[in-house]
């Protein structure tokens, strides 16, 4: 007859294997999502540029503060002139000159602001566990991984840099004069 401890260890091992498999699948899906969002943003930009070129009689140059046309899905690309934060769950826009932090949702703005404050104070990069404590979050794996996902997304979009694995700081362009403010 098997021992109770042996049965528990067997079930624990099965559960751990399932968690590992799901994490691998989540990482794969996250990577696919980043690539798909990048492609989507490129198509939005391409459509916008073609629209500018083909629009009859418009000779004024559109600056970085001008609003872009809404996409066919009814969701506009990031609008830099907005004084409110982007809606939660909105796409993180690629960073470009003149794009304000307000184009980001509140969670992303908090990350960028925390790193901007550290740069202003002459402090180095932050890891996600340090970010969690800065934001008053419990340092549990779920919260840390959520922050890591957001920081990686900001890095992929040009808002942040990752000078060392798992350590994040503002990208040089964002931190430059007037960048991302």
As a whole number of angstroms, the distance between CA 50 and CA 55 comes to 8
As a whole number of angstroms, the distance between CA 22 and CA 60 comes to 51
> What are the structural domains of the chain?
4-175 (1.10.10.10)
| pLDDT per position as a tens digit, 34-59 | 888 889 888 888 888 887 788 765 45
pLDDT band at 127 (very low <50, low <70, confident <90, very high): very high
3-state helix, strand, coil in the chain (%, to 5): 55, 5, 40
Instruction: Tell me if 157 sits within 8 A of 93, measured CB to CB.
Output: yes
Residue 90 has pLDDT above 80, yes or no: no
């Amino acid at each position: 007859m098997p021992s109770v401890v042996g049965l528990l260890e067997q079930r624990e091992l099965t559960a751990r294997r399932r968690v590992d498999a799901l994490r691998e699948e989540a990482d794969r899906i996250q990577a696919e999502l980043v690539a798909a969002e990048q492609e989507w943003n490129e198509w939005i930009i391409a459509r916008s540029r073609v629209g500018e070129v083909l629009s009859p009689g418009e000779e004024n140059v559109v600056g970085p503060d001008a609003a872009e046309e809404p996409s066919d899905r009814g969701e506009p690309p990031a609008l830099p002139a907005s004084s409110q934060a982007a809606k939660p769950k909105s796409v993180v826009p690629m960073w470009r000159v003149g794009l304000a932090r307000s184009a980001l949702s509140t969670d992303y703005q908090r990350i960028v602001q925390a790193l901007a404050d550290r740069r202003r104070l002459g402090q180095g990069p932050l890891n996600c566990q340090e970010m969690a404590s800065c934001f008053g979050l419990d340092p549990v794996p779920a919260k840390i991984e959520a922050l890591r996902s957001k920081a990686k997304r900001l890095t992929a979009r040009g808002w942040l840099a990752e000078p060392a694995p798992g350590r994040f700081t503002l990208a040089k362009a964002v931190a430059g004069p007037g960048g991302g403010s």
